[in-house]
Amino acid sequence: MWHERNRDSHLARQLISFATGLVVLAGMAVSPAWAGGKACAEAAAAEAARAAESARPDDPRPDSPKPLIQLAILLDTSNSMDGLINQAKSQLWQIVNTLAVTKQKGQRPELRVALYEYGNDGLSAGEGYIRQVLPFIDELDKVSEKLFALRTNGGSEYCAQVIRAATEGLTWSGKDSDLKIIVIAGNEPFTQGTVDYHTTVPAAARKGIVINTIFCGNKEEGEQTGWSEGARIGNGTYGFINSEAQMRHIPCPQDGRISELGEKLNTTYIAYGDEGRTGLANQVAQDSNAKVAPGAPAGAAMVDRAVSKSSRAYRNTSWDLVDAVKEKKVKLEDVKDKELPAEMQPMTPAQRESHLNKLAAEREAMQKEIGELQRQREVFIAEKQKELGGKDETLAGALLTAIRAQATRQGFTFDK
């Protein structure tokens, strides 16, 4: 598996270099003053960056031996959708936490998330103003990173076309028992564009993919503009939200300790290999993002993130040696000295194994404590919600009930 990952990474680098070369040649062909043309150079750089994203290898194991949940999130990033993007940033970890406590036939599933943006005038018109931001991945910090990098601009929103792009452009599981979900959110008619959703939605459904639609506006408008019909023929659920609503948060006595442990967990990670330093830095960066997530009360998203970090859904096998060894992605004895952090390089093989086991045990203890605190917190929240009442008008409010029902229908159960 280790060699396969290296091979895929090498292939991706070759594709990126090839795509970048094509962009440069194209720029030279259309501009005689290429050498001195700053505008052309900037345009080429931007196009090369997009090519690099699309050249990344997709998930190499769609048919996992474990149960699998695949969630593709399709977000409208046109000018009016800042509120929607803010809700996605602040509520990602709530969604993860709901899926992290599922089982199918006694087994915890693997969770993989993909991300698309559409309706942004900064994207290619020839591609329908659509971009695959991430293929299916299981390292959730990368999803958070990309969500926080999204920017809104302009707007020609082609829902049917982005559904087709996700259906055809992602590697979906071939197992009927796995849960495969597309969630599309936006605020313009579902019928925009030349592609008909009556064709693309059934095509997704034939692959066993459930289409959930979330309209940013009132219920009646979403029904009149195709959003509810899209969910109906996609075997999914239609939801409508107030994209400017703030994330609902009930402060709990357990919040402070959970957040503290969430950050302390970082000390149990061993950055190794080419991606080690970047992965560890991104982990810290996403902690910081969660603390200041827009559309959420201060610190609320950090509590949810800490709970996610205590779950099996939070995995970092590409850069954390503890996870990589635990999941048999690599053997400790096969890792070269130069790929290890400086403090482990002088250690003997026995000392390295002892050090890794020590950190793994510390992590497990902290994760267990977070889990116990979260159970207490859930009881506290349930009681407060009875008192407060009302409807959650945000992305998570619309999505979580639907996903729970769809997971149950697919044979998944939820921890009590």
Residue 45 lies in a domain: no
Query: Is the same domain home to 103 and 184?
Result: yes
Cα four-point dihedral sign 10, 14, 19, 23: positive
Task: State pTM to two decimals.
Answer: 0.82
Portion of the chain with pLDDT greater than 70, in percent: 85
Are the CB atoms for 291 and 305 separated by under 8 Å? no
Same domain, 231 and 107: yes
Q: In terms of Cα–Cα distance, which of 378, 78, 397, 404 is closest to 246?
A: 397
Going by pLDDT thresholds of 50, 70 and 90, the confidence category of residue 49 is very low
Question: What tokens appear for 159 in the block?
Answer: 């829902």
Host domain of residue 132: 68-247+392-414
- Residue 184's domain is classified under what CATH number? 3.40.50.410
Checking if the pLDDT of 322 tops 80, the result is: yes
Residue 95 located in a structural domain: yes
CA distance 285 to 406: 33
Same domain, 188 and 320: no
- Residues 132, 272: one domain? no
Work out the average pLDDT over 78-97. Answer: 92
Whether 407 has a pLDDT exceeding 50, the answer reads yes
Q: What is the pLDDT of residue 63?
A: 52
In total, how many domains does the chain have?
2
Q: Quick one: pLDDT at residue 396? A: 87
Distance, in Å, from the CA atom of 157 to the CA atom of 155, rounded to the nearest integer, reads 6
- 261 and 118, same domain (yes or no): no
Question: 165, 202 in Cβ contact below 8 A?
Answer: no
pLDDT at 389: 77
pLDDT tens string 334-360? 999 999 999 999 999 999 999 999 999
Q: Are residues 224 and 82 in the same domain?
A: yes
Judgement on whether residues 239 and 273 belong to the same structural domain of the protein: no
Q: Is residue 17 included in any domain, yes or no? A: no
Residue 105 in domain? yes
The reported pLDDT for the residue numbered 397 is 85
- Whether residue 23 has pLDDT greater than 70: no
Alpha-carbon distances, residue 305 vs 209, 252, 265, 368 (angstroms): 27, 15, 12, 15
> Quick one: 147 and 282 in the same domain?
no
Cβ pair 110, 64 in contact under 8 A: yes
Kindly state whether residues 77 and 203 are assigned to the same domain: yes
Average pLDDT on 364-371 reads 98
Q: How many CA atoms lie within 13 A of 169 on its CB side?
A: 24
The string of pLDDT tens digits covering residues 180-230 is: 999 999 999 999 999 999 999 999 999 999 999 999 999 999 999 999 999
Residue 383 contacts residue 253 (beta carbons within 8 Å): no
Average pLDDT over residues 60-68: 67
Residue 82 counted as domain residue: yes
pLDDT at residue 64, rounded to an integer:
57
Q: Does one domain contain both 90 and 230?
A: yes
Q: Tens digit of pLDDT for each residue in 98-150? A: 999 999 999 999 999 999 999 999 999 999 999 999 999 999 999 999 999 99
Strands 68-76 and 179-186: parallel
Alpha-carbon distance of 64 to 108, in angstroms, equals 12
Tens of pLDDT, residue by residue over 145-182, are 999 999 999 778 999 999 999 999 999 999 999 999 99
Does a structural domain hold residue 23? Answer: no
- Residue 198, helix vs strand vs coil: helix
Does 232 lie in the same domain as 192? yes
DSSP annotation string for 285-333: HHHHHHHT-TTS-TTHHHHHHHHHHTSTT---TTTBHHHHHHTTSS-GG
Dihedrals phi, psi of 185, to nearest 5 degrees: -130, 140
How far, CA to CA in Å, does 60 sit from each of 8, 25, 145, 172, 339? 9, 31, 22, 10, 24
Strands 238-241, 209-216: pairing kind: parallel
Q: Which two tokens stand for residue 260?
A: 């503290």
Taking alpha carbons only, the member of 206, 124, 210, 145 closest to residue 406 is 210
Same domain, 262 and 175: no
Mean predicted lDDT score pLDDT of the chain: 86
Better-predicted residue by pLDDT, 250 or 262: 262
Q: What's the half-sphere exposure (Cβ side, CA atoms, 13 Å) at 140? A: 28
Residue 271 lies in a domain: yes
Q: Is residue 297 part of a domain?
A: yes
Q: For the chain, give the percent of residues with pLDDT over 90.
A: 74
Distance between CA atoms of residues 204 and 199, nearest Å: 9
